[in-house]
Structures are given as structure tokens and as C-alpha cells.
Amino acid sequence: MSSRNFHRRLVLFRYVPAGPPLLKLMPFLARALLAFSLPLTAVFAQPAPAGAPPISVAPDRPLSLEEAIALALQKNFSLQIENLSLENARENVTIQDAVFDPVFTAAGTRSLSQQASNTSVLDGTQREGPRNDNTNFRVGAQLPRIPYTNGTLQVQANIARSATNSTNALLNPSYGNGVSATLNQPLFRDFGRRAALAALENAQLAFNIATLNYKSEVLAIVSDTENAYYNVVAARELLRIRELTLQANQRLLSENTARRNTGVATDLDVLAAEVQVASARRALVQQEQTVRDTEEALLSLINVPLDVRPGIVAFDDREVPQPNFAQSYKLARDFYPDLQAGGQALRQLELNLETARRNLLPNLDLTAQLGYTARATEAGYQEAIANLPSHHGNNWSIALNYSLPWGQRADKARLRQAANNVSSQKVRLDFLEQQLMADVRAAVRAVETNLVAVEIAAQATLLAERQYEQQKARYDAGLSTSRLVLQFQDDLDNMRFQELSAKLALRRAVAELRRLEGTSLQRFHVELPQ
């Protein structure tokens, strides 16, 4: 609840000055407090939003990047922990706002005192000991804290019945009624609206920081999931390249073996082909391990059992636009959660500094009390209440309580600490801004560089494929050797690997730039809690 809302709610409670109008209201106040002494509680329940349709992960079902990110945002462990921290911060705002809620009190007391014998004839009894039978009911309310002065107002009403066996009692039983109001008002240190709302504002800032931390965690999860997904794509593509290499080397081994049987090739050619087949098989086995490692890393992020293998995954075929540093830095400057959280933390520390300055003032509190007591009667409770406006006694008191530590060394030290914390946070914000600029510049350069690298690597791969095909044709025609064929095969594998590495680096660079800009939330349609 915002401070504006509870200020609007406080209008229901207005101060009524003491005097005849107040006395006329006393019977109604007493009856109302008696009738409504028990607190009423309203519970509002909001239906849980309908969940999105479940996303299944299976070997026979393709898994898109959007689905992987959706699963990560739904089930990731670290995000669940961050969400609970956010909820705790939200509840803390409610706790601080509840300081401005009224508090109702009620008490009932019944006492009986019977002495064994009398000790004096002055108490009005002759043979049996003095006997006193008392019943007392009290109800009260502490009205909402006054936000403009940080004062509190408490009202209380009581009705009582007393009976005795003393012959000296003028009324027996005697019914009484009284009401009182007590005002506690700080005058120096804790006076005013800023002091009244400091804790609530601090809690609201803490909630803002928790919201920004949650947003930062979401961006990190999206970026990590993108990288993990692309790692699986790259690992599987490299596995396919290793399989193609093994198949080509096996064909070459078969051809060399046949050529040796016809006397065209030598045992050395066959041995070289066998070594290449063994090396390709080893690389294939190692790449299969890498594929499983990357798959399990992705499954851990999206919180899916590790024994489930994801289906077909693929690179995003969307064209990557040329980045612009000025535009990217503006987006990052306006959105970056860590920078915004630093600003909210600075506001918190400035609030603490303001409180530390205020604490240098002395403690001076005003306590004022006004009470009215109805004329006692034997006619019952209703008569006692009815007597209050016109037949009553009164009492009042005013007290001032003053305190100030000698030298205020602790308060002055806390003020210096608060000032140092503000200065430190300002330096930290400057560092965050500098680091953000450097990160955005690096991310933009990485995207620009890898866009060029992907284009060049694709051309190099095409050239290596044609050179290998040409050399293989020459070998089939008897114009080349198996060693040259194997060399061109290795060159083709290297070009394919470099092209795949450039594609993976480009996707990673784009994911990092989106994380800094915050545009990955719009890209994957992520809605954050408000």
C-alpha cells in the first residue's frame, strides 16, 4: 500500500477538541467501544492465474529456444529463490505500512477479596471480615499514527461495578464509567512527516531493489539459457562434422586398400588412412561426451531430469542487425537493473543520512492526557454511561520528557558513517556506469566482429569444400596422393569448425548485448511482476 493510500484512509479519524461537544459524544463512544471491542478481519483472496500449457522435453520433439527459456523462467532454482526474496520484500512493505493501522484493545477483570475477620470498626463491618467484589471492563483504540506529526492518539473507555459489605459505603453496589484520551507527540528528534514515513519509505526502496534484482536474475537466466541452448546446437553440429569426417576417412581407407591390392597404392598409404580413421573415431567419441555435457547443462538450467534427451535444436535463423553503440548504450543506461538498483540503494543511504542528522536533535516528547469520570450510581451500567455528559469529574495532565546523551559521540559517529556510506555508494554508481559503458562497447564490437567473421568463415568453408572435391577427383584419376587428400580433408574440417565457432560466438555476443540492453525480455515476451 502506498503512502498516498494510507493518508487517504487517515481522513476517517479527526481530532475533536475537548469540551462540551466531546462530552456529548462520550456515551456513544463508550457504547461503540463496548460493542466493537473485538477486531474484525477481512480476508481477500485472489485466484491464481491460469498457468501456461506445459512444455514437454523429449527426444522425438523439437525444442525451440523460446520453449527452453520459458521452462527456465518457470522452473529454475535460483529464480525461485529470488522470487521468494521479492515476496519477502513485498511483505516487509506491508509490515511497515501496518504501523499506521488502528489497534483495538479490550480487557475484563473480576476480583473478589474476603478477609477472615475485621480488625477495626471503622471499616463498617461488625462480625465478618471486609469483602470487596469488583468488576471492570476496558476497551480502547490506538488510532492510526498521525503521518504529519508522527504522533499517536489513544482513547479508552471503562465501566466498573464495585460491591462491599461495608456499611460505610454510600452506594452499594456502585457503577462507574470513564473515558480518557492520551496524546504522545515527539517534538524534536522524531517529529514530522519525514520521521513518520522513514521506515515505510525504506521498505519501499528495499522492495524496489528486490524487484530490480529479480529483473537482473531473469536477464541472467535468459542469457545463460541462450548460451546453453546454442552450446547444444554447436556441439551437435560439430558431432555431425566428426561423423562426416569419419565416413570420408573410412571411404578413403577402403579405396587405399583396394588400390594396394591392385598394386597402385602402398602399405604406407593404407596405414596413414587407418590412422586417420582411428583419429576420427576418437574425436567422434570425445564429441559425443561433449554433446551429453552440453545437453545436461541445458537441462539443469531449465530444471528437467537429466536422463531426458532434448529433441532437435537449431540456431536462430533471424538476421542479426548491425548494432549501434549510441542506441545500445542509451537502452542499457535506461534499463540496466544493477545501475537502477544502485540508485535505489543510494536513496536508502540518503534516507539513513537524513535520519542520522535528525538523531542529533534531543529527545523531547509531549504526553497529554484528558479524562472524564461519570458520577457513580446504583442504577446499573446504562445509568453510569448516561451520567457521563452532564454529571462527571475530570482530570488532565501534561508532561514533557527530555533526554540528550552527553557529547552525543555515538550519534555523531553514526552521522559520519552514514555520510561515508553515501559517498561510497556514489563512487560505486560511477564505477557501475563506467563498467556498463565498457561492457556495452565490448558487446557491440563483439557482434560487429563476429558478423564479419561468420561471413568470411562461410566463404572459407565453401572454398575448402571445393578444394577437397577437386583433390579427391584428382586422386580418383590417379593424379594425386592419399596424403594430399587427407590434408585437404583436415583443412575442410578446420574451416567447418571455424565457421561453427564464429556462429556460436555471434549468438553469444548478441545474447550478451540483449542482456545489457534489456531487449531480451521483449524478444522472448517475458513479463516481470509489478
Write the DSSP assignment of 320-373 as a string of letters. Answer: PPPP-HHHHHHHHHHH-HHHHHHHHHHHHHHHHHHHHHHTTS-EEEEEEEEEEE
* Sequence-distant contacts of 299-307: CB under 8 A, at least 24 apart: 299/57, 301/68, 301/72, 301/76, 301/221, 301/224, 301/225, 301/228, 302/57, 302/68, 302/71, 302/72, 302/75, 302/76, 302/225, 303/71, 303/72, 303/75, 303/76, 303/77, 304/57, 304/71, 304/75
Length of the chain, in residues: 530
Neighbours of 93 (CB within 10 A): 21
**Which cell goes with 140?**
480502547
Q: What integer pLDDT is reported at residue 26 of this predicted model?
A: 42
Across the range 121-136, mean pLDDT stands at 72
Q: What integer pLDDT is reported at residue 75 of this predicted model?
A: 82
Q: Which residues contact 470 (CB under 8 A, 6 or more apart)?
A: none
pLDDT at 32 over 80: no
Taking the C-alpha atoms of residue 235 and residue 292, their distance in angstroms, rounded to an integer, is: 9
Q: What integer pLDDT is reported at residue 469 of this predicted model?
A: 86
Q: Which residues contact 183 (CB under 8 A, 6 or more apart)?
A: 151, 152, 153, 154, 366, 367, 368, 369
Q: What integer pLDDT is reported at residue 530 of this predicted model?
A: 61
Residue 76: name the closest of 299, 310, 312, 233 by CA: 299
- Sign, CA dihedral 215-218-224-225, equals negative
Lowest-confidence region among 55-64, 404-413, 458-467: 55-64
| ∠ Cα 448 452 455 (to 5°) | 145
Identify the band that residue 38 occupies on the pLDDT scale cut at 50, 70 and 90.
very low
Across the range 397-403, mean pLDDT stands at 93
Amino acid letter for position 463 = L
pLDDT above 90 coverage of the chain, percent: 38
Q: Are 492 and 469 in contact (CB under 8 A)?
A: no
Across the range 97-118, mean pLDDT stands at 87
**Which cell goes with 345?**
540503494
Taking the C-alpha atoms of residue 276 and residue 486, their distance in angstroms, rounded to an integer, is: 8
- pTM beyond 0.85: no
Q: What integer pLDDT is reported at residue 393 of this predicted model?
A: 82
Taking the C-alpha atoms of residue 357 and residue 309, their distance in angstroms, rounded to an integer, is: 61
Q: How far is CA 335 from the centre of its chain?
A: 17
Lowest-confidence region among 45-54, 101-110, 293-302, 509-518: 45-54
Across the range 390-394, mean pLDDT stands at 82
Q: Are 373 and 389 in contact (CB under 8 A)?
A: no
Peptide bond into 47 cis (omega under 30): no
Residue 225: name the closest of 529, 487, 439, 514 by CA: 514
